[in-house]
Chain A
Amino acid sequence: MAFEPVLLARVAKLNSGKLEGYRADGGYAVFEKVLKDKQPLEVTTQVKDSGLRGRGGAGFPTGLKWTFLPKDHPGPIYLCINADESEPCTYNNRILMEKDPHQVLEGIMLSSYAIRSQCAYYYIRYEYGDAYRSTQAAIDECYAAGLLGKNILGSGFNLDIYMHRGAGAYICGEETGLIESLEGKRAWPRIKPPFPAIEGAFRKPTIVNNVETMACVTQILRRGNDWFKSLGVPPDPKNPRDAGSYGPKLYTIAGHVNEPKCVELPMGITVRDLVEKHGGGVWKGRKAKSVNPGGLSMGFADCNLPLKGEDGKTEYDIPLDFNGPGKIGCLGLGTAAITVIDDQTSMVDVLHNVCQFFSHESCGQCTPCREGTGWMLKITDRLRRGQGRREDLDVLVDVADRIGIMPGTTICGLADGAGWPVKTAIRKFRREFEDAIQSGAKSVHSKSLQLVGAH
C-alpha cells in the first residue's frame, strides 16, 4: 500500500498557505479543542508518549525535552523555532514554511500551550525570503482571526509569535548559537550545562524545536499516537538506549539524481529505495559511488562496500532511521537530506567542497575547530591541486578525529560535523585519494566552487 503523505498532504494545493484553505482541511480544530478540553501537561504527555524525536538533526525526544523545563516556573518561558535550515542539500523545512505555514504555526501554538510559553520566536535563516514572507503572512492572518494575541478564543491563553531573520550563518542553527543570535550577539554557542530548558533566551527557560517537529506535533495531536507509532521503526530490543524512530519523515534527495525532491515517507526507508524509487535513479545512467545519508556533516557511505553479515547488501541499503547511518560509521540521520555522488565524481573534489563549507562556517570560538577546519581546507585544497602527500591523509584523519564535542575538545557539535565527512571519506575511499596523490593529477575544476549565501 502506498504511503499517503501527511505533513506534505497540502503542499500541492492551490493557496495552500492561506488560513481559509487550512481551515477547510480541518486546520486549527485540534488547537481549539485542546484549548478547551486539555491541560498543558496532557499535551506534553501525549507528545512524549508518541515517541516523537526532534527532526532538526540530533533526534532528541521532543516531549522529554519539554519535561526538562523547571516545574512551576513563574515565566516567561520561551519557545524558539529553529528555521535556520543551513545544512547543505537540506530543504524539508523550507517546503513546509513556504507551502503550508499554518501547519507549523498550529504546532507552535500547541507546543507553546504545552510548555506554558506565551512568546515564541521563529528564527528563520536570511536566505529563506519566500518562507519568511509566507510565514509572516500566515502569522498576520492568525492575529486577525484571533488565533494569536491575548486571550486566544476566550481561553485565557496568550501567545505572540515573532519572526526573526538570521544573517546567514550555519552556526545559528545550533540551539544556543541561535539563542545568542536572537539576543543580538555573535552566534557563539554557549557552554552546556546549563541547557536552554533551564537557562536559555534572555536567561529564561527556553525550548528550541525544529520546524518539522512542530508540524509533527500538529499531526500527533490531530491523529493520535497510535497513528504516529504505526509508522516507522520500533526500538531495537538489543539497544536499551534506542528510543525508536516513529512517524513520517521528510527526506530530501539532492546531488546526482534525476529528480531531486523532497518526499515524505515513514522512517526506515533504505537509501537505495529512496534514490531509485523516489529520486528517479542516479543521473546520466551512472552509478552511485557515495551518498551522504543526512546532510554533509553526517559523513559518507560507500555504495559499493558490502555490509557485514548481510548477503548482497551494501552501504547503499542502510535504512534511514535514527540508528541506520550510525551502523556504517556515519554520525546519524541528521536532517535526512540525501546527497548522491555519482561514480564519475572525484572524492577529492567532494571533500574539498565539504571542508570549504565547514571552514567558512566554523564560528571560530574553540581553538580545535577554528584551526582544524582551516587546516583541513588547506590540505584538501593542496590535494585538489595535485600537490598532496601520503602523510596528508593521516593528518586529515587525525585532525578530523580530535575535533568535536565527542572527544570533548569543542563547545558545540559543528566540529564533529566537520570532522565526520573527512574521516569517513578517507577511511572508505582511501585508495582513490592515494591514487590521486600518486598520479599528481589536478582537479578538473580549476577553481574552488564559490560559496553562495547571504554574504
Chain B
Amino acid sequence: MPTVYVNDKPVEIGAEKLNCVQVAAKAGVEVPHYCYHPALSVVASCRMCLIEMGELKDGKVTMQPKVFPGCQTPVKDGTVIVTGDYAKRKGETALPYDPAYKPGDRTKKAQADTLEGLLLNHPLDCPVCDKAGECKLQDYSYEFGHGESRLMDAKNRPANKPELSSKITLFTDRCILCTRCVRFTREISGTSELQVVGRGHHEEIDVFPGFPLENKLSGNVVDLCPVGALGSKDFLYTQRVWYLKTTDNVCAGCSTGCSIHTDANKDIVYRLRPRENLENQGHFMCDEGRWGYHYTNAPDRITRPLTRIDGALKPTDWQSLSKLKETFEQAVFVSAKKSVAVLSPFLTVEEAYRLGAAFKSMHREIRLVLGPVPLTGVDDHYPKDVKGNAVAPTKFTIRAEKCPNRTGVESVLKKLQGEVISFADIAKLTLDAIWFAGGYPNPDVVDAAIPDDWAAPKLLIVQDLFHSKLTRAATTVLPATTAFEKDGTFVNHAGYVQSFHRSVKAPLEVRSELQLAFDLAGKKGLATVAAVRKDFAKELPQYASLAEIALNTNGRLTLATV
C-alpha cells in the first residue's frame, strides 16, 4: 500500500491522486491555504500552503532544500511531508532525518514571511470589517504570523469598488489577490466578469467597465473570499459574525435543495451560506436561494390565526379555534367526496405524512392533493459559455421547480392514497371543504393556481405564510412556518434525502404544521419529528434510516437516497 508520511505520521493513500494539502488533511494536519479550493483550478500563487518535502527510500530520508506549495505538489509512495506544525505533532517516532535538518523551521519562516507580505498593504481595519471573526487572514496571522509589521512606509490605498455589482461590493485594499473569485466566474459560472487588472502590488480585482458582476451564482464569490474584500451588500454591517448561531439547513428555494448553513441571531435569519456537500450540489449555492430568505423576516407575513367575522378576517387566538377540527370533521362527514386536503410541496416529509394520515383517519374518501408546484422557466445549468449556453460538464444547476420537497410529499401521497392528485384537477371542481396546508414563500404561486372563475367552498381553512386569493376567500387563516423554523426532511428532485434542524423559533403565535397535525389526529402532547419518523419508518421503508437520527443536536444529518 502506498504510504506518505505527514509530520512522521504514515498515511495510506491507496490509488488516490492527492496533493499535499489533501494528504495532510487525511493525517489530521491542517495546511493553511488561501488560493487553493477543491472546486477550482490550482494556481499555487498565495504561497500560504508551503511545506517541506522529501522522500523516504531504503531507510533514508532525503529532503529537498526548499519549500513547495502543498496545493500543487502531488504525492507518491514514500513522499515525506513536513509542515510548519511539525513541532506540534504527537507521539510519532521521528523519521531518520539528516541530523542537521530542522523539520518545519523553513516552512514556518516562509509562512510567516508570506503573511507579512499579505499584511503589508492590508488596511487592518478588522473592527469595521464584516469578515472579522471568520477571516482566514486573521486566523492564520494569529497562528502563523509575526506579531508586528516592519513596514514603515505608507500603505497602498486603492479605492473601494461598490459599483462592482448590485449585490456585492469590493473592499479593494483588503484583497490578497488569491483570485478565487476570478477563477469562480471563469470555471463555475462561466460568465467571466471578474479579472485582475494592474501589475505587481498595484494589482486589483475588477470588472470590465459596463459589465458588472451580475450572474445567478455571483454570491459565491463572497464565500470564496478568504478575507473581507468581497462583501455581500445584503449582509453588510448587519451583524458581527461571532453573534451568529449557525445551523445546518436545506435551502427551500428550488428542488436541488442545496445544503446550507443558516446564520441567525436572536431568532432572526441574517445570512445563508452553502454547505459543502459533494453528494448533492457541491460547494456552492445560487443567489436566488442565498438572498431569498427575507420572506421569513417579512413584516407582512401572517403571524397569527385569523377568522372571518361578519365578512372580514379578524385576528383571533388558538383557544377560540378549538372547534376548528370538529367543524372540518363535520364537513368531511357530510360529503367526504367533496372534501379536499391540500399538502404543499413546501411541507416536510414528516408534516405531509402526519397531516395526510390525520385527514385520512377522518374519512377514507377525503382526497389528498399535492399543492401547486411552482415552475419558472427551465433548469439553468452552469458553467455558461460567452453566448450564455450551458457547457458540459455541468457544475451547478438551478432547478425550474421552485419548491424543495415535491418528491417527498408525493411519496407520502402515494403511500396514503395510492395516487398523486394535482391541484389543477381539483381547482376546477365545486367543493364543500378545503384544508390548504401551504407555506408558500411566494403567494403569486398560489394566486396563479386559482382559476378566475373559481368558486370558494363553504369551508376553506388556509394555512400559509402570506395572503393570497385563497386567504381572501378563507373562513379561517392559520399562520405557517418557514423551513428555517422547523425540524424535518426534504427530498430533492433526484430523490436525495436531507434532514435538518430548526434554525430559528417561529413567531410567537405560530403553531407548527406538525403540531397542528398532532392536534388534528387527537394525539396528546408536543409534536416531535422523532416520533413521526418512528411511525412512518414502518410504512415508508425508504425513510427508515431517518428514524435513527437524533435531531436534538444542531446540524446532525444522516443522508440516504429514496
**A361 contacts the other chain (Cβ, under 8 Å)?**
yes
**Known contacts A365-B43, A368-B47; is A407 also within 8 Å of B201 by CB?**
no
**Known contacts A367-B118, A382-B153, A409-B114; is A374 also within 8 Å of B200 by CB?**
yes
**Residue A379 contacts which of B47, B114, B153, B156 (CB distance < 8 angstroms)?**
B153
Asked if A409 contacts B176 (CB within 8 A), the reply is no
Among the 9-residue stretches B64-72, B304-312, B460-468, the one with 4 or more Cβ atoms under 8 Å from chain A is B64-72
**B506 contacts the other chain (Cβ, under 8 Å)?**
no
What CA separation (Å) do A363 and B201 show in the bound complex? Answer: 9
Asked if B68 contacts A363 (CB within 8 A), the reply is no
For chain B residues 274-299, which have a beta carbon within 8 Å of chain A?
none
**Known contacts A367-B46, A367-B117; is A373 also within 8 Å of B110 by CB?**
no
**B120 contacts the other chain (Cβ, under 8 Å)?**
yes
What CA separation (Å) do A407 and B153 show in the bound complex? Answer: 26
For chain B residues 346-373, which have a beta carbon within 8 Å of chain A?
none
Chain B contacts for A392, CB-based, 8 A: 152
For chain A residues 370-392, which have a beta carbon within 8 Å of chain B?
370-375, 378-379, 381-382, 389, 391-392
Asked if B177 contacts A364 (CB within 8 A), the reply is yes
What CA separation (Å) do A100 and B50 show in the bound complex? Answer: 47
What CA separation (Å) do A362 and B117 show in the bound complex? Answer: 14
Asked if B67 contacts A371 (CB within 8 A), the reply is no
B166 to chain A, nearest CB (A): 26
What CA separation (Å) do A368 and B67 show in the bound complex? Answer: 13
A61 to chain B, nearest CB (A): 23
Asked if A366 contacts B110 (CB within 8 A), the reply is no
Among B42, B109, B120, find the residue whose CB has the most chain A CB atoms closer than 10 A: B120
What CA separation (Å) do A373 and B203 show in the bound complex? Answer: 13
**Known contacts A364-B196, A365-B43; is A407 also within 8 Å of B110 by CB?**
yes
Query: What secondary structure prevails in chain A residues at the interface with B?
Result: helix
**A145 contacts the other chain (Cβ, under 8 Å)?**
no
Among B48, B153, B203, find the residue whose CB has the most chain A CB atoms closer than 10 A: B153
What CA separation (Å) do A375 and B114 show in the bound complex? Answer: 13
**Known contacts A374-B120, A382-B152, A409-B110; is A362 also within 8 Å of B50 by CB?**
no
Chain A contacts for B203, CB-based, 8 A: 364, 370
What CA separation (Å) do A375 and B116 show in the bound complex? Answer: 11
Chain A contacts for B102, CB-based, 8 A: none
Chain A contacts for B120, CB-based, 8 A: 371, 374-375
Chain B contacts for A144, CB-based, 8 A: none
Asked if A360 contacts B177 (CB within 8 A), the reply is no
Asked if B121 contacts A408 (CB within 8 A), the reply is no
**B213 contacts the other chain (Cβ, under 8 Å)?**
no
B205 to chain A, nearest CB (A): 11
B116 to chain A, nearest CB (A): 8
**B150 contacts the other chain (Cβ, under 8 Å)?**
yes
**B113 contacts the other chain (Cβ, under 8 Å)?**
yes
**B540 contacts the other chain (Cβ, under 8 Å)?**
no
**B45 contacts the other chain (Cβ, under 8 Å)?**
yes
What residue of chain B has the Cβ atom nearest to residue A381's Cβ? Answer: B153
For chain A residues 179-214, which have a beta carbon within 8 Å of chain B?
186, 188, 191
What CA separation (Å) do A169 and B198 show in the bound complex? Answer: 11
**B426 contacts the other chain (Cβ, under 8 Å)?**
no
Chain B contacts for A362, CB-based, 8 A: 199-201
**B151 contacts the other chain (Cβ, under 8 Å)?**
yes
**Known contacts A191-B43, A191-B72, A402-B110; is A370 also within 8 Å of B152 by CB?**
no
Count of chain B residues with Cβ under 8 Å from any Cβ of A? 37
**B44 contacts the other chain (Cβ, under 8 Å)?**
yes
Asked if A409 contacts B72 (CB within 8 A), the reply is no
Asked if B117 contacts A371 (CB within 8 A), the reply is yes
Asked if A364 contacts B110 (CB within 8 A), the reply is no
Among B43, B68, B154, B200, find the residue whose CB has the most chain A CB atoms closer than 10 A: B200
**Residue A408 contacts which of B42, B50, B117, B202 (CB distance < 8 angstroms)?**
B50
**A163 contacts the other chain (Cβ, under 8 Å)?**
no
Asked if B45 contacts A408 (CB within 8 A), the reply is no
What CA separation (Å) do A13 and B431 show in the bound complex? Answer: 104
Asked if A365 contacts B200 (CB within 8 A), the reply is no
**Known contacts A191-B72, A407-B110; is A361 also within 8 Å of B200 by CB?**
yes
Asked if A368 contacts B199 (CB within 8 A), the reply is no
Asked if A359 contacts B201 (CB within 8 A), the reply is yes
B136 to chain A, nearest CB (A): 13
**Residue B44 contacts which of A360, A370, A371, A411 (CB distance < 8 angstroms)?**
A411
Asked if B117 contacts A407 (CB within 8 A), the reply is no
How many residue pairs between the two chains, A and B, have CB atoms under 8 Å in the bound complex? 105
Asked if B43 contacts A364 (CB within 8 A), the reply is no
What CA separation (Å) do A139 and B154 show in the bound complex? Answer: 51
Which size bracket describes the interface of A in this complex?
35 or more
Chain B contacts for A378, CB-based, 8 A: 151, 153-154
What CA separation (Å) do A408 and B45 show in the bound complex? Answer: 11
Asked if A409 contacts B50 (CB within 8 A), the reply is yes
**A395 contacts the other chain (Cβ, under 8 Å)?**
yes
Chain B contacts for A410, CB-based, 8 A: 47
Asked if B153 contacts A371 (CB within 8 A), the reply is no
**A41 contacts the other chain (Cβ, under 8 Å)?**
no
Interface string of B137-179 (1 = CB under 8 A from A): 0000000000000111110100000000000000000001100
**Known contacts A191-B43, A374-B200, A375-B117; is A408 also within 8 Å of B177 by CB?**
no
**A58 contacts the other chain (Cβ, under 8 Å)?**
no
What CA separation (Å) do A371 and B118 show in the bound complex? Answer: 7
What residue of chain B has the Cβ atom nearest to residue A395's Cβ? Answer: B150
What CA separation (Å) do A360 and B199 show in the bound complex? Answer: 7
A81 to chain B, nearest CB (A): 24
A331 to chain B, nearest CB (A): 16
**Known contacts A186-B196, A375-B151; is A370 also within 8 Å of B50 by CB?**
no
Chain B contacts for A381, CB-based, 8 A: 153
B217 to chain A, nearest CB (A): 22
What CA separation (Å) do A417 and B503 show in the bound complex? Answer: 55
Chain B contacts for A365, CB-based, 8 A: 43, 45
What residue of chain A has the Cβ atom nearest to residue B34's Cβ? Answer: A367
For chain A residues 396-415, which have a beta carbon within 8 Å of chain B?
402, 406-411
What CA separation (Å) do A132 and B48 show in the bound complex? Answer: 42
What CA separation (Å) do A374 and B118 show in the bound complex? Answer: 12
Interface string of A329-373 (1 = CB under 8 A from B): 000000000000000000000000000000111111111101111
For chain A residues 249-281, which have a beta carbon within 8 Å of chain B?
none
B20 to chain A, nearest CB (A): 13
Asked if B201 contacts A411 (CB within 8 A), the reply is no
**Residue A407 contacts which of B67, B72, B152 (CB distance < 8 angstroms)?**
B67
Among B120, B177, B201, find the residue whose CB has the most chain A CB atoms closer than 10 A: B201
What CA separation (Å) do A359 and B201 show in the bound complex? Answer: 7
Chain B contacts for A407, CB-based, 8 A: 66-67, 110
What residue of chain A has the Cβ atom nearest to residue B153's Cβ? Answer: A378
**Known contacts A359-B200, A364-B199, A367-B176; is A372 also within 8 Å of B45 by CB?**
no
What CA separation (Å) do A395 and B67 show in the bound complex? Answer: 21
What CA separation (Å) do A379 and B152 show in the bound complex? Answer: 8
Asked if B121 contacts A367 (CB within 8 A), the reply is no
B328 to chain A, nearest CB (A): 67
What residue of chain B has the Cβ atom nearest to residue A189's Cβ? Answer: B45
Chain A contacts for B121, CB-based, 8 A: 371, 374
What CA separation (Å) do A372 and B72 show in the bound complex? Answer: 22
A418 to chain B, nearest CB (A): 10
**Known contacts A402-B110, A409-B47; is A364 also within 8 Å of B152 by CB?**
no
Known: A191-B43, A362-B199, A402-B109. 4 other contacts (CB 8 A): A362-B200, A370-B201, A375-B151, A395-B150
Some 27 contacts from A to B, beta carbons below 8 A apart, are A186-B195, A186-B196, A191-B43, A360-B199, A360-B200, A361-B199, A364-B198, A364-B199, A367-B114, A367-B177, A370-B200, A370-B201, A371-B118, A374-B121, A374-B201, A374-B202, A378-B153, A378-B154, A379-B153, A389-B152, A407-B110, A408-B66, A408-B68, A408-B110, A409-B50, A409-B113, A411-B44
Give the 5 A-B residue pairs with the shortest CB-CB distance, closest first. A374-B201, A408-B66, A371-B117, A364-B203, A378-B153
